[in-house]
Amino acid sequence: MNTCDLIIKKRNGGELTEREYAYLVNGYVKGAIPDYQMSAFLMSVYFTGMTETETLFLTNEMINSGDTLDLRGISGIKADKHSTGGVGDKTSLALCPMLASVGIKMAKMSGRGLGHTGGTIDKLESFPGLTTSIDGERFIRQANEVGFVIAGQTAHLVPADKKLYALRDVTGTVDIMPLIVSSIMSKKLASGADIIILDVKTGSGAFMKKEEDSFELARQMVALGKNAGKKTVAVVSDMDEPLGFAVGNALEVKEAIDVLRGESAGKLRELCLTLGSCVLQEAGFAENEAGARRTLEKSITDGSALRKLAEFVKAQGGDERAVYDVSMLPAAPLQTVLPSPKSGYIGKIRADGVGRACIVLGGGRETKDSAIDLSVGVVLNKKVGDYVNQGESLAVVHASDASRAEEAKKLLLGCYDICDAAPKSRPFIRGIVR
């Protein structure tokens, strides 16, 4: 088999076989196929696309490039959740204990944040003492005993994706739909869950800015999951403004805890109920969405979801008292108000800009090796559609020093559009792809 022949075949719109994808992926991971040839192949895919069958072939070979998680030692139904990334997205922190408290095992591997999107692992490390470095035996045991476990991603899980993504990042081939699908789904399928629930974001703070692109990504990922024999559902949700009110690691943990305490009824709670309802229906735990939502709402009102979070924190070496006393979480030494420059309705809050303000404060990474400050961030007091008076607080900036706070406030002001008329409302949950 010849690499150049395969590049030409794909360049001319041909459909590659399973054996040909195995040759390409194995050769590239082992170093037999150089970067310049794989770059040419990726660019060929950019212009000619891939069929669903080809995407499945590529995904399977990426999975086979490294280790997979064997979850057969975990009793019951196992589910995994993935978000395509966004600003203020702390969904896993509330959703996992809700589902675990009603009998779904959440065995999840997560990553750290990069750029304006936050990472679940960073947020969890806001709990004093908590570790996400967990070996395989402990991972299985905790999933059985507690009902959910969240560990850092291992380098041995889908190494082909790590190598291919690094190449795509520097060759202008990141935004190729089938390659995005393979990148996400290879890691989810390698993680071994029975049910995969996907939270696909759309809007200014999302990877996919256009709603039609987000739905196409959702459709392709669901199709791939089902072709691989997994129950897969995708929820398309809005990321034109940050999710919830808090942006920043410890601040987002506090907001997730508010949801589990029943003290928040906003869009974060709605997203958790929607995603969780999909899981319960796929698992056969509920006949319809209404029944599923009642089950999840009960886990909040009776306190079982909050207790499950505390149990999880303790199991992973953290101080579970911080679940009940959030003053134990990291707190920034300076809080300063961002006043509104005029009166009117909030017409838009650019989520990506709020994320960049958080980076300026030290709460996000410019590179994968950047150190972050878990205490800093932004708490929004006004969201899209709200009315604000001149001088009233748009947000509170949590900072380590005054100079960072002022720089972040300048960025934040540029994120707001304040209008004379209330903006037309749009649904937060844009749709569900089953």
Known catalytic residue at 168: yes
Known catalytic residue at 430: no
List 44, 101, 183, 299, catalytic entry = 183
**Which pairs from 278-283 meet CB under 8 Å and 24+ separation?**
278/197, 278/233, 278/235, 278/432, 278/434, 279/79, 279/81, 279/99, 279/104, 279/195, 279/197, 279/233, 280/99, 280/102, 280/104, 282/195, 282/197, 282/231, 282/233, 283/77, 283/79, 283/104, 283/194, 283/195
List 161, 199, 238, 373, catalytic entry = 161
Instruction: Please identify every stretch of the chain with a pLDDT value under 70, giving residue numbers as ranges.
Output: 111-118, 155, 365-369
Instruction: Set out the domains of the chain in order of their start, with CATH numbers.
Output: 3-49 (1.20.970.10), 78-324 (3.40.1030.10), 331-419 (3.90.1170.30)
Q: What is the pLDDT of residue 117?
A: 56
DSSP-derived letter for residue 348 is E
For residues 323 and 316, is the Cβ–Cβ distance under 8 A? Answer: no
DSSP string for residues in 250-293: HHHHHHHHHHHHT---SHHHHHHHHHHHHHHHHHTS-SSHHHHH
Known catalytic residue at 258: no
Known catalytic residue at 398: no
Q: What is the pLDDT of residue 204?
A: 83
> pLDDT tens-digit profile of 75-103?
999 999 999 888 999 999 999 999 999 99
Known catalytic residue at 213: no
Mean pLDDT value across the chain: 93
Q: What is the pLDDT of residue 108?
A: 86
For residues 326 and 257, is the Cβ–Cβ distance under 8 A? Answer: yes
Q: What is the pLDDT of residue 114?
A: 54
List 82, 267, 269, 409, catalytic entry = 82
List 187, 350, 382, 404, catalytic entry = 187
